[in-house]
A and B are shown apart, each in its own frame.
Chain A
């Protein structure tokens, strides 16, 4: 059981023309489950394959428990892997599949037998040991693949989209099982997925990747409530976050016929950090709410209502943007109805149009600061991408200037008092 550290790892293909992994840093603590998530082609699988030794990085080092393994072949890394299509040896029985890795390492047959039966017991596949892979269902194959991967008592556990071939129900069952298994084995685990929901539900920490870089590494809560870039905010969360492009002029936020006074701290941070006057507001669907016409920020027409059971998703057009609003299931709202829209301002994020986050309306702590103390299992060194680091400065200034904030935010980290956002709300009421 070891800690896995990636330092400046870089991998290119086609003679350097395609950069798959662009100088990434990542620490995976002993027993930690870290999820690499991102759109296809973002380099998450390549990163995993570099850790496995199936790809050799062009630069940087990978260490397992302090030992440099960058140039070691996969077999010498004592890792185990699970692939999306399970990759069970079709010509071998379940037992032989599970025993293969140990046999290749010349383990004596008694130990092989003990280990295989132990793993089969954990994965509850003891009665399948004599079957061939093509006689198993997808879920059973997945269990065998997982069983095979734990047989060898690996130093690190690498899973490449292991749940993508399963149906939705089985996927959620296996999700829980993998988490339980991982806790039981207490092994550094890297889980690759393109599914943000899977990432949120499984990871001790999540590393959101984009174009070969890690955009943010943090706990699921932090990634969701405190995204450090437009990309992260957009990628994580379903239904997706709403973005509004507005301009900052004279301490006011303007756009789409609205003028909203900014709290002084936010105003300072924005005027200091923004390249121009443009700013992108990121508003989670649950931070928007419906009011009676005239009772909110502005009046809009409902386009579509999607009842989800526990919630209702309401789509309204705001300028040329379509907003997603999550409302309680018992909200009575019809399509084509005119409604008022209100925004929970303290949770609104401000992004530079280039991507990095500048600040959050009501949040006075620096975006990257809580990395070490938000319940993560990380080593606390708070390795973040460069975007987060540049944000750090501005945000910590905010922390000082916003001390007199008077709004109680939903965010558990906020300790603010009422703020000028209250004033802004009042003005909105008059409009």
Chain B
């Protein structure tokens, strides 16, 4: 009897409930083609070129054998010759995240708020805000690298130099701590479009009556932002910050294009470290080991993200 089944939920097994929630085995059959495809392009390389590779000494030279070395690659990073770079890289990556994400957030939110107002030629401005996101990261990074040199075309350098004294030799990109900021600017310019689009959609979905009643209630612009806009965007902000945090850690293009990880290792964030190890030092085993540790480290972040994604707005 249907009505009895409905109230029986608590007694059913986990398997039953999964089937109930996600359909029957039929549903899984429907998923199978994409699962197989994903298996080939994601899981296979991850296991064979990732996990297995991290236990070998591996180079691309076909004349060399690639012996199994056990945990040696991990030991290299954790306790051996790579430890200093490993720790430094983690520190710089965290710093990078801590600066880039809030910076990105503020620029994107400001852009979304401004372009939600009535402006002349608003569609044009809205489109222009996405120019960065439409540009290839390497092109954007290289362009910033050029603009950050001490030269007449070094727009960013000349602007920063008005407030701080940045060494002329090597410009922003080859002097610490400026190189770090050089990467940050390029990264934020290239990437804020994503958050901007999401925020703009979020801001537009706020009923305008809320702002009107707040005006009647006597709330000024700051309080309207604080009490209406911000609470409304709360879940959106959490989500995009999670996504951006995860997707920024491993990204190589922009730091590499702007500074090549330099000066020395100053902007060698985790992704860059893996890239350098693999494709400059040709030590693919060690690169794979670092990559695996990095993957493990972001699993909690991903779980957190999935939970915020599936959580209902209360």
With an 8 A cutoff between CB atoms, is B61 at the interface?
no
CA distance A42 to B229 in the complex (A): 32
Q: What chain B residues lie within 8 Å of A101 (beta carbons)?
A: 216-218
Give a binary string over A41-73; 1 marks a CB under 8 Å from any B CB, 0 the rest: 000000000001110000000000000000001
Pick from B212, B231, B234: contact of A81, CB below 8 A: B212
B219→A100 contact, CB < 8 A = yes
B215→A75 contact, CB < 8 A = yes
Distance between A47 CB and nearest chain B CB, rounded to angstroms: 15
A-B contact count (CB 8 A): 57
With an 8 A cutoff between CB atoms, is B210 at the interface?
yes
**Quick one: given A85-B207, A87-B209, A132-B314, are A100 and B227 in contact (CB under 8 Å)?**
yes
Pick from B213, B215, B234: contact of A83, CB below 8 A: B213
Q: What chain A residues lie within 8 Å of B214 (beta carbons)?
A: 89, 100
With an 8 A cutoff between CB atoms, is B17 at the interface?
no
Q: What chain A residues lie within 8 Å of B91 (beta carbons)?
A: none
B219→A104 contact, CB < 8 A = yes
B228→A87 contact, CB < 8 A = no
With an 8 A cutoff between CB atoms, is A123 at the interface?
no
With an 8 A cutoff between CB atoms, is A169 at the interface?
no
CA distance A90 to B235 in the complex (A): 13
With an 8 A cutoff between CB atoms, is A332 at the interface?
no
Q: What chain B residues lie within 8 Å of A85 (beta carbons)?
A: 207, 209
B227→A89 contact, CB < 8 A = yes
With an 8 A cutoff between CB atoms, is B126 at the interface?
no
Q: What chain B residues lie within 8 Å of A80 (beta carbons)?
A: 216
CA distance A79 to B231 in the complex (A): 26
Pick from A54, A74, A87, A92: contact of B207, CB below 8 A: A87
Distance between B158 CB and nearest chain A CB, rounded to angstroms: 42
With an 8 A cutoff between CB atoms, is A110 at the interface?
no
Distance between B212 CB and nearest chain A CB, rounded to angstroms: 5
**Quick one: given A83-B209, A104-B223, are A89 and B228 in contact (CB under 8 Å)?**
yes
With an 8 A cutoff between CB atoms, is B244 at the interface?
no
Chain B residues 210 to 242 lying within 8 A of chain A, measured CB to CB, are 210, 212-219, 223, 227-228, 231-232, 234
Question: Nearest residue in B to A49 (C-beta to C-beta)?
Answer: B212
Question: Nearest residue in A to B228 (C-beta to C-beta)?
Answer: A89
Pick from A81, A89, A91: contact of B216, CB below 8 A: A81
Q: What chain A residues lie within 8 Å of B232 (beta carbons)?
A: 90-91
Question: Nearest residue in B to A73 (C-beta to C-beta)?
Answer: B215
Question: Nearest residue in B to A81 (C-beta to C-beta)?
Answer: B216
Q: What chain A residues lie within 8 Å of B213 (beta carbons)?
A: 81, 83, 87
B210→A75 contact, CB < 8 A = no
Give 18 new A-B contacts, CB below 8 A, not counting A80-B216, A91-B234, A100-B219: A53-B215, A73-B215, A74-B215, A75-B215, A75-B217, A85-B207, A87-B207, A87-B210, A87-B212, A89-B227, A91-B228, A91-B231, A92-B227, A101-B216, A101-B218, A104-B217, A104-B223, A105-B218
